[in-house]
């Protein structure tokens, strides 16, 4: 009877989870410190800050230099119309021509044709002639109808002698039928290179007809005299011909 009473007394109790005592918890391993990784992280942060500072300092160290705004033919000089000033980062390894040196640069000549939009460096200019041996330059003053439209520096042209009553076609295909040429239609110069026209190109269709176009041609020495004589009389017409020009024709 006592056994049954004990069993019945315990039957009403609910079974709950047994909580381990404090002394029964497993010990945790101590956190391992890694001073090398911490030092590396600090070093990377310092290097990044140093690099950013260097870039800021370099960007702030700028100089005013010369930049071309139009093509400068070989043998020509800079003018107020073909250069401007720009700011660039200073670099001792590049021989920039500073804007303050513009006056001295005017006395020099372009060694080779300098394209539009480049920053000038000292190696682009010299005091000597840039013409190749056996070449000469001849200046022309042409009216509309004596040159092809869209004439640009580097174009290859032929120069014909025309009478005062006729001129070459503005399209550049040939001289007009009303003009006469010497030598049975033979050109004064069969192949000449345009080394200068205003702003690197001829006037567009809206060019004022009363204003002549100044053109400089590079020709062979033995053709220069005849071309200059015809040019002085206003009896030269240019015709664009196929060909790729280099410096000095």
pLDDT digits (tens, 9 = 90+) for 61-93: 889 999 999 888 777 888 888 999 999 988 888
Rounded to 5 degrees, what are φ and ψ at 229? -65, -45
Which has more pLDDT, 66 or 131?
66
Highest mean pLDDT among 40-49, 65-74, 193-202: 65-74
pTM, two decimal places: 0.44
Q: What does the pLDDT read at residue 64? A: 93
Task: Give the C-alpha separation, 99 to 221, whole Å.
Answer: 37
DSSP state of 75: T
Which has more pLDDT, 131 or 105?
105
Q: Is the pLDDT of residue 180 over 50?
A: no
Rounded to 5 degrees, what are φ and ψ at 90? -65, 135
Q: Report CA-CA distances (Å) from 24 to 16, 18, 27.
A: 18, 12, 9
Report CA dihedral (82, 87, 90, 92) to the nearest 10 degrees: 0
Highest mean pLDDT among 166-180, 181-195, 216-230: 216-230
Q: What does the pLDDT read at residue 113? A: 75
Domains of the chain plus CATH, in order, are 62-126 (3.90.1210.10), 135-240 (no CATH)
Question: Which helix (H) or strand (E) is 7 found in, with range?
Answer: helix 2-11
Q: Is the pLDDT of residue 42 over 90?
A: no
Mean pLDDT, the chain, whole residue set? 74
User: What b/e sequence results for 24-46 when a residue is b if at least 16 CB atoms lie within 10 Å of its CB, and e otherwise?
Assistant: eeeeeeeeeeeeeeeeeeeeeee
Which has more pLDDT, 55 or 190?
190
Q: Is the pLDDT of residue 203 over 70?
A: no
Q: Is the pLDDT of residue 188 over 80?
A: yes
Q: Is the pLDDT of residue 202 over 70?
A: no
Percent of the chain at pLDDT exceeding 90: 15
Helix (H, G, I), strand (E, B) or coil at 233: coil
**How many helices (H) and strands (E) in the chain?**
4, 9
Q: What does the pLDDT read at residue 66? A: 94
pLDDT per position as a tens digit, 88-107:
988 888 899 999 999 999 88
Tell me which of 78-92, 193-207, 217-231 is least confident: 193-207
Q: What residues contact 129, with CB distance under 8 A and at least 6 apart? A: 75, 109
Structural contact between residues 110 and 202, judged by C-beta atoms closer than 8 angstroms: no
Task: Give the C-alpha separation, 122 to 118, whole Å.
Answer: 13
Task: Give the C-alpha separation, 210 to 218, whole Å.
Answer: 26
Highest mean pLDDT among 80-84, 112-116, 133-137: 80-84
């Amino acid at each position: 009877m006592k056994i049954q009473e004990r069993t019945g007394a315990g039957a009403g109790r609910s079974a709950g989870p047994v909580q381990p005592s404090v002394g029964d918890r497993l010990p945790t391993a101590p956190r391992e410190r890694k001073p090398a990784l911490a030092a590396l992280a600090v070093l990377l942060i310092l290097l990044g800050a140093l690099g950013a500072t260097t870039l800021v300092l370099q960007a702030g160290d700028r100089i005013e230099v010369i930049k071309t705004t139009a093509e400068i033919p070989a043998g020509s000089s800079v003018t107020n119309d073909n250069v401007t000033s720009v700011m660039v980062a200073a670099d001792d390894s590049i021989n920039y021509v500073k804007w303050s040196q513009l006056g001295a640069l005017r006395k020099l000549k372009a060694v080779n044709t300098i394209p539009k939009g480049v920053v000038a460096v000292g190696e682009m200019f010299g005091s000597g002639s840039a013409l190749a041996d056996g070449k000469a330059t001849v200046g022309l003053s042409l009216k509309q109808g004596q040159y092809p439209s869209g004439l640009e520096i580097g174009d290859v042209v032929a120069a014909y002698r025309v009478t005062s009553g006729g001129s070459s076609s503005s399209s550049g295909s040939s001289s007009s039928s009303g003009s006469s040429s010497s030598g049975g239609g033979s050109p004064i110069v069969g192949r000449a290179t345009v080394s200068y026209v205003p702003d690197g190109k001829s006037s567009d269709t809206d060019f004022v007809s009363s204003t002549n176009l100044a053109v400089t041609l590079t020709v062979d020495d033995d053709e220069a005299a005849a071309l200059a004589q015809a040019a002085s009389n206003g009896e030269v017409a240019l015709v664009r011909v196929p060909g790729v020009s280099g410096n000095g024709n």
